[in-house]
């Protein structure tokens, strides 16, 4: 973890169990240095949103400690709320108000008035390329425009820390790319500390200086995106089948191939690591064919954050999304 002495955000041993016994956080610990972008990366239901709720004072942890901007969130919640901006998964935009009215109302919540507030509104509308739509009713905005307005509202009072909880979920690729540009600007130019939660591997890879991979409410790996990927030696190999296969048969076939390791069998796919993927592919296909297991496709690639997740959890993102239970909405 980043040095706790200088952390803008620090979570230590956070635990949270929802009614029904669903454990959302199971000792989650991480720290974020000031002025950086830190991504909590994990599948839906991994505990990311619950962590944000604890850190933004929207819920209390059952155990553990949370500190934001040097303030204990349990004991000094009102002060924390004035120091942070939060963009939740569900939009906070009033669809029946204009963009300018949404920003003005948000500013007034923080005690901003008069010329100071109007200048800040104009600044943010220009920054997020919303000026020409400022006086239009927000329900006429595209999904991407609404999310930009959400972020502008979170920034109205110049917070020290900004929480972005799954900010691009549901956006089309073009809108997602545009929002990534805005987040990159925030990180590079404004000096603000950003905690980003996401289940998009590419998003974490592109935006975050450091990534914490979350699985079942715990941090299982942490580092820079490149550093995490470089820990994995060799190539990632994925073989897809036309129908579900028995794990024992697939594993037995591949274990006979030299240089293959970290074999993880899912319903219609198998993931493995090979020192030299391109040269290993023919041997892999031959071994499967001899075992009566006909492959539909094989993919060889350099390690990705998906491979890092697979390495530490034994499951792919896709399988984890299907397996993890949720309580009280997305976790």
Domain annotation covers residue 326: no
Buried-exposed string 284-320: b where 16+ CB fall within 10 A, e elsewhere: bbebbeeeebebeebebeebbbbbbbbbebebbbebb
Q: Looking at the structure, do residues 60 and 150 belong to the same domain, yes or no?
A: yes
pLDDT on residue 323: 64
pLDDT on residue 5: 53
How many beta carbons lie within 10 A of that of residue 117, not counting itself? 19
20 CB-contact burial (10 Å; exposed 0-12 / middle 13-18 / buried 19+): exposed
Cα 48 to chain centroid distance, Å, stands at 7
pLDDT on residue 327: 43
Q: Looking at the structure, do residues 199 and 291 belong to the same domain, yes or no?
A: no
Look over the chain and give the mean of its residue pLDDT values, rounded to a whole number: 91
Q: Looking at the structure, do residues 174 and 255 belong to the same domain, yes or no?
A: no
CATH number of residue 69's parent domain: 3.40.50.300
**Which residue ranges of the chain lie beneath pLDDT 70?**
1-5, 322-331
Model pLDDT for residues 222-262, shown as the tens digit of each residue? 999 999 998 888 899 999 999 999 999 999 999 999 989 88
The DSSP element (H or E) to which 49 belongs, if any, is: helix 48-55
pLDDT on residue 322: 65
Q: Looking at the structure, do residues 123 and 140 belong to the same domain, yes or no?
A: yes
Domain annotation covers residue 315: no
Q: Looking at the structure, do residues 14 and 51 belong to the same domain, yes or no?
A: yes
Is 198 in contact with 168 (CB distance < 8 Å)? yes
Domain annotation covers residue 329: no
pLDDT on residue 277: 86
Q: Looking at the structure, do residues 60 and 110 belong to the same domain, yes or no?
A: yes
How many beta carbons lie within 10 A of that of residue 227, not counting itself? 12
Q: Looking at the structure, do residues 238 and 197 belong to the same domain, yes or no?
A: no
Q: Looking at the structure, do residues 46 and 188 belong to the same domain, yes or no?
A: yes
Q: Looking at the structure, do residues 92 and 153 belong to the same domain, yes or no?
A: yes
Q: Looking at the structure, do residues 213 and 261 belong to the same domain, yes or no?
A: no
Strand 210-215 versus strand 235-241 pairing type: unpaired
Structural domains of the chain, count:
2
Using the 3D structure, point to which of 199, 214, 229 is the last residue of a domain: 229
pLDDT on residue 38: 97
Domain annotation covers residue 14: yes
Domain hosting 171: range is 4-229
Backbone angles phi, psi at 23, to 5 degrees: -90, 110
Using the 3D structure, point to which of 213, 229, 245 is the last residue of a domain: 229
Q: Looking at the structure, do residues 219 and 250 belong to the same domain, yes or no?
A: no
pLDDT on residue 3: 45
Q: Looking at the structure, do residues 62 and 211 belong to the same domain, yes or no?
A: yes
CATH number of residue 240's parent domain: 3.30.70.2470
pTM: 0.85
Backbone angles phi, psi at 43, to 5 degrees: -70, 170
Domain annotation covers residue 322: no
Model pLDDT for residues 87-132, shown as the tens digit of each residue? 998 999 999 999 999 999 999 999 999 999 999 999 999 999 999 9
């Amino acid at each position: 973890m980043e040095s706790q002495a200088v952390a803008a955000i620090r979570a230590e041993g956070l635990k949270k169990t929802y009614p029904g016994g669903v454990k959302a956080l199971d000792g989650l610990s991480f720290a974020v240095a000031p002025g950086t972008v830190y991504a909590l990366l994990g599948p839906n239901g991994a505990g990311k949103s619950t962590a944000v709720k604890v850190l933004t004072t929207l819920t209390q942890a059952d155990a553990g400690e949370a500190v934001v901007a040097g303030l204990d969130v349990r004991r000094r919640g009102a002060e924390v709320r004035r120091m942070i901006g939060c963009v939740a998964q569900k939009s906070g935009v009033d669809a029946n108000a204009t963009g300018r009215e949404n920003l003005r109302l948000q500013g007034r919540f923080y005690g901003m008035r008069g010329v100071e507030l109007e200048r800040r509104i104009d600044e943010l509308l220009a920054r997020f390329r919303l000026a020409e739509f400022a006086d239009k009713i927000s329900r006429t905005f595209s999904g991407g425009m609404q999310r930009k307005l959400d972020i502008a509202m979170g920034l109205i009072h110049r917070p020290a820390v900004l929480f972005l909880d799954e900010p691009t979920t549901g956006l089309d690729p073009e809108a997602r790319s545009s929002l990534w540009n805005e987040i990159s600007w925030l990180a590079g130019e404004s000096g603000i500390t950003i905690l980003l939660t996401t289940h998009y591997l590419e998003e974490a890879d592109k935006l975050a200086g450091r990534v914490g991979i979350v699985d079942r409410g715990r941090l299982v790996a942490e580092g820079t995106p490149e550093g995490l990927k470089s820990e994995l030696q060799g190539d990632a190999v994925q073989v897809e089948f036309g129908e579900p296969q028995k794990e024992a048969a697939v594993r037995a076939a591949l274990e006979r191939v030299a240089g293959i390791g970290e074999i993880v069998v899912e319903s219609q796919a198998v993931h493995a690591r090979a020192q030299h993927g391109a040269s290993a592919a023919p041997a892999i296909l031959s071994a499967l064919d001899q075992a009566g297991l006909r492959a539909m496709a094989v993919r060889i690639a350099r390690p990705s954050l998906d491979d890092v997740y697979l390495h530490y959890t034994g499951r792919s993102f896709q399988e984890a999304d299907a397996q993890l239970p949720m309580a009280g909405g997305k976790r």
